[in-house]
């Protein structure tokens, strides 16, 4: 009886819903959803069909990989001459550092990248991490400078290439980050002198191009020093980059501080936390988390801006490439391949930072719900 | 007068041109439970926020447990260790777990070992009946639960005085009772309480004294029975008729 009732009340079958699984359906939804979408897809495909074979031929099939100058010249730029990289990679990567001693920057660089990777993991963020970095930088300097135990002395003006780029970036940002926190806090201070100084600092530095800061650090700084007391060129450039990056970072961090509700400060005050305790345990952890994308933006800029040190005769990765090619008439013409190579190195660095930023943002957000 | 724990003498305060506290004279006895009510903008929140110096008064004298509040930072720190405060918007720290919210001040301000601070925090969480949420983050809790955590947090430094600034005003109606129950428990334990609230049932059942403020002045103060039965001023009568009419 119940079954009969159920039979009578059955609803007529409706057409099946459109398939949403499978690759055909994915194509339809994402590439051919409507006529505009389809047109865009077809245009992209047309460009790819036109260009991809050329890129593959130019870059891979016809390219010369051996450091064979005659073969490369014979190509007449119809295909890539990766031979220039094979021939010059030591000069590009390590600059003017003495050829036989280049294992030293290599070891230093590997240590640095290793510690950098370790530092990326939140569970390594404890009081030992800064100590590890101080030890690392000390080892790096001792190893690079040499002048003991049979290691020849290499002055800082001869350091170059990728290790120099990494050194200036990590050391510069490592120093700029704490400095920028102080400046950002200072800009919100109740003490008029502190506030005025921090505002003046940020507005002054942001108003000057980095290239001028580097020039001033490199050429003007020594003029104010007693004769014979010129600080090291690397030190001068490091100070310039740090001061410059700190101004931009401070503004990014101030954005985060501004977004912390007043109630958080009041709660910290009412619990008896001192100013510094409140900043350190309550305000900064929340503020910094909020501005991770802006901070990473500054980091990426600074990493690439280190290439400007070439103008004060320090040969970082970009500078070393110029050094490697300009001095050799046989290989000079293959600068395009050279720039692609260092472009790739920069891109790997920047893309890693970008991905890391997204990961750490999700990771830290997951902690607070 | 050793039993006076908070003393206002001719306290005046302005926000710019706005005279928010006018000639406040008020003595609070140790262990006294006071409810402060009045229309919005009457200065009642400002009054209790002066007690732990979230606001500073510009004229007159205010002392808390024998310490006069001035610009002296040491004095302010001393007073804040004696005074706990609960806010309308809870103001829990969203990046810390419930337990970490409670142990922050004891470990950093009270220099207590972590283990001891955690034991004490758990005891406070038991007291507000929310111990099972200790490992969660504040935003995973309901409003009523968050406010109970906030009360537990302010109790962790064993304050002598508790200030409540409209603790139930931001809560959904069904959560008000759980918070009031905790406050009633607390009132029975001898702690000095000043509570800005419009919960007149709470005032009736636990307050020793009800204070009515309007336009920065204390208009009237009396025992709850007298206060509700025989309000003396017109403004008090007018206010009571508005909030008790439904």
Whether A233 is covered by a domain: the verdict is yes
In a domain, A135, yes or no: yes
Cβ partners under 8 Å of residue B209, min gap 6? B32, B33, B34, B35, B221, B222, B223, B224
Tell which residue, A180, A327, A149, has the closest CA to residue A257: A180
- Does residue B20 form part of some domain? no
Catalogue the long-range contacts made by A352-356 (C-beta closer than 8 Å, 24 or more residues apart): A353/A296, A353/A299, A353/A300, A353/A303, A354/A296, A354/A300, A356/A120, A356/A296
A249 within domain boundaries: yes
Residue B6 belongs to some domain of the structure? no
CB contacts of B80 in chain A (<8 Å) are 269-272
- The residue segments making up the domain with residue A273 are 84-367
Residue A164 domain-assigned (yes or no): yes
Cα atoms found within 13 Å of the Cα of residue A261, Cβ hemisphere only: 9
Q: Establish if B119 belongs to a structural domain.
A: yes
Tell me the pLDDT of chain A (369 aa) as tens digits.
555 555 667 788 888 877 777 788 888 888 888 889 899 999 999 999 999 988 898 888 888 888 888 888 888 878 888 888 888 888 889 988 888 888 999 999 999 999 999 999 888 888 899 999 999 999 999 888 888 877 888 888 888 889 999 999 999 999 999 999 999 999 999 899 999 999 999 999 999 999 998 888 777 777 777 777 777 888 888 988 999 999 999 999 999 999 999 999 999 999 999 999 999 999 999 999 999 999 999 999 999 999 998 888 888 888 888 888 888 888 888 888 889 999 999 999 999 999 999 999 888 876 654
Kindly state whether residue A114 falls inside one of the protein's structural domains. Answer: yes
**B226: CATH:** 3.40.50.300
Query: How many domains does chain A fold into?
Result: 1
**Number of domains present in the structure of chain B:** 1
- For B227, the domain range is 32-56+71-243
> SS3 string of A10-39?
CCCCCCCCCCCCCHHHHHHHHHCCCHHHHH
Instruction: Return the closest-CA partner of residue A75 out of A88, A58, A89, A51.
Output: A58
Domain annotation covers residue A25: no
Rounded to two decimals, the ipTM of the complex is: 0.92
CATH of the domain at A131: 1.10.3720.10
How far B75 CA lies from chain A's nearest CA (Å)? 11
- How many C-alpha atoms does A132 have within 13 Å on its Cβ side? 15
Token code pair at residue A92: 């590009």
B47 found inside a domain = yes
User: What residues of B are in contact with residue A286 (Cβ under 8 Å)?
Assistant: 93-95
Cα of A363 to nearest chain B Cα, Å: 13
Closest Cα of chain A to B200: distance in Å?
26
- Provide the number of CB pairs (under 8 Å) joining chain A to chain B: 66
Cβ atoms within 10 Å, residue B30: 15
Strands of the sheet containing B161-165, edge to edge, are B83-86, B161-165, B192-196, B33-37, B209-214, B217-222
Establish if A39 belongs to a structural domain. Answer: no
* A285: in domain: yes
Nearest to B95 among A263, A277, A368 (CB): A368
Distance CA B188, CA B153 (A): 19
Distance CA B16, CA A125 (A): 45
Q: Rounded to whole angstroms, what are the CA distances from A326 to A91, A281, A297, B187, B223?
A: 12, 53, 32, 84, 93
What Cα–Cα distance (Å) separates residue B13 from each residue in B10, B16, B34, B63, B136? 10, 9, 21, 15, 40
């Amino acid at each position: 009886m119940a079954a009969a009732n159920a039979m009578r009340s059955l609803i007529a079958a409706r057409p099946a819903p459109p398939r949403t699984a499978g690759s055909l359906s994915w194509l339809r939804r994402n590439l051919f959803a409507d006529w505009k979408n389809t047109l865009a897809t077809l245009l992209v495909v047309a460009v790819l069909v036109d260009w991809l074979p050329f890129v593959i031929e130019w870059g891979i099939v016809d390219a010369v990989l051996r450091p064979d100058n005659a073969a490369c010249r014979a190509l007449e730029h119809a295909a890539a001459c990766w031979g220039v990289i094979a021939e010059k990679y030591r000069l590009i990567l390590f600059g003017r550092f003495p050829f036989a001693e280049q294992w030293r920057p290599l070891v230093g660089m590997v240590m640095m990248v290793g510690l950098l990777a370790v530092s990326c993991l939140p569970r390594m963020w404890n009081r030992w991490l800064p100590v590890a970095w101080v030890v690392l930088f000390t080892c790096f300097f001792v190893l690079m400078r040499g002048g003991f135990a049979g290691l020849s002395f290499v002055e800082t003006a001869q350091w170059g290439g990728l290790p120099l780029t990494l050194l200036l970036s990590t050391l510069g940002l490592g120093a700029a980050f704490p400095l920028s926190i102080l400046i950002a806090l200072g800009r919100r201070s109740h003490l008029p002198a502190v506030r005025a100084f921090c505002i003046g600092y940020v507005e002054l530095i942001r108003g000057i191009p980095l290239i001028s800061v580097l020039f001033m650090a490199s050429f003007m700084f020594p003029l104010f020093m007693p004769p014979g007391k010129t600080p090291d060129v690397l030190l001068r450039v490091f100070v310039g980059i740090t001061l410059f990056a700190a101004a931009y970072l401070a503004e990014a961090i101030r954005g985060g501080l501004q977004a912390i509700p007043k109630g958080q400060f009041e709660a910290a005050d009412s619990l008896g936390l001192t100013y510094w305790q409140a900043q350190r345990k309550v305000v900064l952890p929340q503020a910094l988390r909020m501005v991770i994308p802006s901070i990473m933006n500054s980091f990426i800029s600074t990493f690439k801006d280190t290439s400007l040190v070439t103008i004060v005769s320090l040969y970082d990765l970009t500078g070393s490439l110029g050094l490697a090619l300009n001095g050799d008439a046989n290989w000079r013409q293959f600068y395009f391949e050279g720039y692609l190579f260092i472009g790739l190195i920069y891109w790997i660095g920047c893309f890693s930072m970008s991905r890391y930023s997204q990961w750490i943002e999700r990771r830290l957000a997951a902690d607070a719900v | 007068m050793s039993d006076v724990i908070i003393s206002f003498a001719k306290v005046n305060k302005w926000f710019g041109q706005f005279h928010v506290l006018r000639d406040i004279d008020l003595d609070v006895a140790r262990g006294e439970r006071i409810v402060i009510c009045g229309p919005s903008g009457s200065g009642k929140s400002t009054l209790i926020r002066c007690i732990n110096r979230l606001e500073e008064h510009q004229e007159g004298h205010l002392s808390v447990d024998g310490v006069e509040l001035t610009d002296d930072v040491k004095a302010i720190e001393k007073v804040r260790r004696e005074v706990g405060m609960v806010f309308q918007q809870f103001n829990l720290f969203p990046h810390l777990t419930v337990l970490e919210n409670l142990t922050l001040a004891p470990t950093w301000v009270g220099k207590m070992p972590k283990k001891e601070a955690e034991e004490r925090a758990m005891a406070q969480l038991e007291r507000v009946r929310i111990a099972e949420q200790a490992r969660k983050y504040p935003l995973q809790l309901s409003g009523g639960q968050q406010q109970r955590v906030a009360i537990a947090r302010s109790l962790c430094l064993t304050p002598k005085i508790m200030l409540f600034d409209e603790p139930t005003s931001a809560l959904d109606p069904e959560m008000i009772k759980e918070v009031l129950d905790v406050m009633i428990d607390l009132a029975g334990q001898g702690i000095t309480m000043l509570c800005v609230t419009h919960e007149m049932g709470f005032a009736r059942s636990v307050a020793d004294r009800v204070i009515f403020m309007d336009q920065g002045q204390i208009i009237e103060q009396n025992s709850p029975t007298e206060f509700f039965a025989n309000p003396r001023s017109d403004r008090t009568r007018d206010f009571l008729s508005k909030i008790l009419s439904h």
